[in-house]
Amino acid sequence: MTILALLIFTITDSSALRKGDECFRAQDYAGAMTAYTSYAKTQEHNAGVYWRIARTAICSGDISDPDTQEVLYRKALEAATHAVRLDSLSSNAQCWYAISLGYIALFEGSKTKVEYCRQIQSSLDAAIRLDPCNDVAYSVYGTFYRMLGNVNWIERQLADLLLGGLPKGGFAEAEVMLKKAIALAPNVLRHRFELGMLYYETERIQKGEELFRLSLLIPPTLASDKERITTMKQMLGQSAGK
């Protein structure tokens, strides 16, 4: 291949990645997946395209019928696993691997869920260590700790006794992580929604209401934000009715 031909090929090839990013930002996940898959065919050693495929599959799954969600989430895990294999020092690869694993855990038994918890925590630690400004990693870590906070004492004791134990942490750690995510990316609705949910769950209703009202002013960046907006409006309505 001549230098000119190689240059043309490279420009055309990278345009597919840019097209995928544009489609993703526009919440056109089908278009993004087509572009990323096309790019991956010629750039099979590029970790960046594989974590993008994982991200797109997750976001597609979030707005899909229950019957198709597991297929998309498993596709995400496969792509994210490949991204980490290609570049274990990629913060985004580690982050989307953790996210994908968290979604797959929903379909697994209790023992596997506990095992995945440790892997998720390890990958999120790696993602933040590799890029301390990765707001997505902080946000997901906040959700991870929020879920741990909702595990009651008996469930945790059983997990410790029978399954090797859950990671330490709970609501306090969740709040720290979510506030960090908001500080890094104040216009991402998901970060604020998760913190608002944490406030409601820890009976800080007024703080939750204030945060939800502010969150409703933020334009959605993910298709799944529509469901978050509906939830916030419902919860604000319920609070007002009390």
pLDDT category of residue 161 using cuts at 50, 70 and 90? very low
Q: Cβ-count burial of 199 within 10 angstroms (0-12 exposed, 13-18 middle, 19+ buried)?
A: buried
Question: How far apart are the C-alpha atoms of 190 and 136, rounded to whole Å?
Answer: 9
pTM score: 0.88
Helix axes 225-240, 189-201, angle to 10 degrees: 40
CATH numbers and ranges of domains, the chain: 11-21+36-131 (1.25.40.10)
Residue 210, H or E segment: helix 205-215
Contact 137, 100 (CB under 8 A): no
- pLDDT tens, position by position, 224-242: 999 999 999 999 997 655 5
Indicate the pLDDT class of residue 128, thresholds 50, 70 and 90: very high
Report which secondary-structure segment, H or E, holds 68.
helix 66-86
Residues 6 or more apart whose CB falls under 8 angstroms from that of 239 comprise 205, 208, 209
CA distance 42 to 40: 5
Task: Share the mean pLDDT of the chain.
Answer: 88
Query: At residue 3, does pLDDT exceed 70?
Result: no
Asked if pLDDT for residue 12 goes beyond 70, the answer is no
Question: Nearest to residue 51, comparing CAs of 100, 105, 98, 92?
Answer: 92
**CA geometry: angle 90, 93, 99, nearest 5 deg:** 140
Residue 173 has a CB neighbour count (10 Å cut-off) of 18
Kindly report, residue by residue over 162-178, the tens digit of the pLDDT.
Answer: 344 556 778 999 999 99
